[in-house]
Structures are given as structure tokens and as C-alpha cells.
Structure 1
Amino acid sequence: MSFSHLDHDTLRQWQDSGTAHEVVDIRDPMSFSQGHIPGSSHLDNKSVGDFVERTPQERTVVVVCYHGHSSQQAALWLAGQGFERVYSLDGGFTHWQHHHPDQVVRDDGAGPR
């Protein structure tokens, strides 16, 4: 019942190759709407119950926060809920945005900044 660390290059490879995974972003709603990893969903205390119910436990889940710290606690919690493959994104969204600026979307439909 634990999680693993994932580097941003591996996540980018998974996205490019179509490897099945779910990216959940635990940052505050405003930060998420201003920029997030394509295909990710916002996860907070209100939506986590629905996420746990609708997501198969064998699904690979990648947790993203600002810098890769809070995501570790959330990943550990998800592993405790029975998810088998849970990852915390090292460096968080800040690192992702710096290294993959072409892979950031906003809720207003705007593309990379």
C-alpha cells in the first residue's frame, strides 16, 4: 500500500504513446483553471469520493500538486483506498510547466502561454 515517484519525462512519454493513466491535480481550483496538464482532472475534498467510486482500482493514477510535495500525501491516501498503481509527479505542475510549456491547457480554452 504505497505509491511511486514519476518524473515529468515519463509522464510525457505516457501521454505521447497513449499509455492508459489518469492525472489528478490537487492544486486549488483557480490555479487549475489557469493552467493544467492536458487530460487532467481537478481533485479536491468534494470530488474525491466520486473519483474513488468511478475509477477502477487497477487504473494508473498520477497525482499532481504545485511542487511535488502535497501530491505524495494524496498518493499515499489513494493507495490506501486500494489503488494499485499510484504515482506522485516529481516537481509538480511547476516543473511540468517549465519543461513542457506546450503541454499546458487553461479552462478558458486557451492553449500554451
Structure 2
Amino acid sequence: MTPAFSHLDIDTLERWLDDHSEVTLVDIRDPQSFAQGHIPGSRHLDNDSATGLLEQVPRQRPLVVVCYHGHSSQQAATWLASQGYTDVYSLDGGFTTWQHRLPSRVAVT
């Protein structure tokens, strides 16, 4: 059985953002970490905001899940795929690698 999500590298995500591709970024880190820095355009996702995401984001739109290091996002991506999303990605290296490689592309709430 193939995984319900795909792995996405940082270079590809950076290119998608530069190209203004239609993609939804969800960050599953804790609220304080998200507030201190996140990928611009991402939205915080937790148990409380999951219903809103499911109601607002079209199932066919690419969905990228971001966590600290790219591990927890795989479980979340699997769950989102089980909710009917057809194009789900887990960001390899997570926010930690993004922040290290692209410090100028970090937003603060």
C-alpha cells in the first residue's frame, strides 16, 4: 500500500511559494512556537482548528503539513488524506530546517 501523503522538500515548497501556486500550508507545532515564527501564509492547525480547515479548504487543493522536524507532520498528513484530501504533503526537515536555510522567509505573529 502506498502512503496517503507525499514527502516534500524545502526547495520545492520554496519554488511553489515563489510561483504563487495554490497551496494550503498548515503548521501543527504548538501555538507559542507558531507565534514565534512560521512559514509565511501558513495557518496553525490543532484539534480546535481542524474542523474549520475541513470546512474551508477544498479537498483537491494541495495541502502541506509542517511540524518541527518533519516527523509528526507525517501522521497529520495521513489523517488529512483520510479526510478526503487528495494531494497531501509532509515537509521534510520541518520548520526547523526551513528556518535554518531560509531565515528571511519566516513570519512572526
Shorter-chain TM-score above 0.5: yes
- Residue 65 of structure 2 is aligned to residue 58 of structure 1: no
Q: Deviations over 1:5-48 (max 9, x none)?
A: 00000000000011110000000000000000000000000000
In the TM superposition, 1:1-113 aligns within 5 A as 2-107=4-109
**C-alpha deviation, 1:54, in angstroms:** 1.1
For 1:64 and 1:103, the matched residues in 2 are separated by: 14
Amino acid of the residue matched to residue 32 of structure 1? F
In the alignment, the residues of structure 2 paired with residue 73 and residue 53 of structure 1 have an alpha-carbon distance, to the nearest angstrom, of 20
In 1: Cα distance, 2:21 partner to 2:48 partner: 28
Instruction: State the distance in 2 between where 1:82 and 1:22 align.
Output: 15
User: Which SS does the other structure have where 1:15 is aligned?
Assistant: helix
TM-score (norm 2): 0.96
Q: What SS does structure 2 have at the residue aligned with 1:45?
A: coil
Deviation at 1:53, TM superposition (A): 1.2
Identity of aligned residues (%): 62
Cα distance in 2 for partners of 1:73, 1:58 equals 19
Structure 1, unaligned stretches of length 5 or more? 108-113
Cα offsets for 1:71-113 (capped at 9, x unmatched): 0000000000000000000000000001111100101xxxxxx
Q: Helix, strand or coil: the match of 1:75?
A: helix
Shift of 1:66: 0.2
Q: TM-score, normalised by structure 1?
A: 0.93
Aligned partner letter, 2:65: V
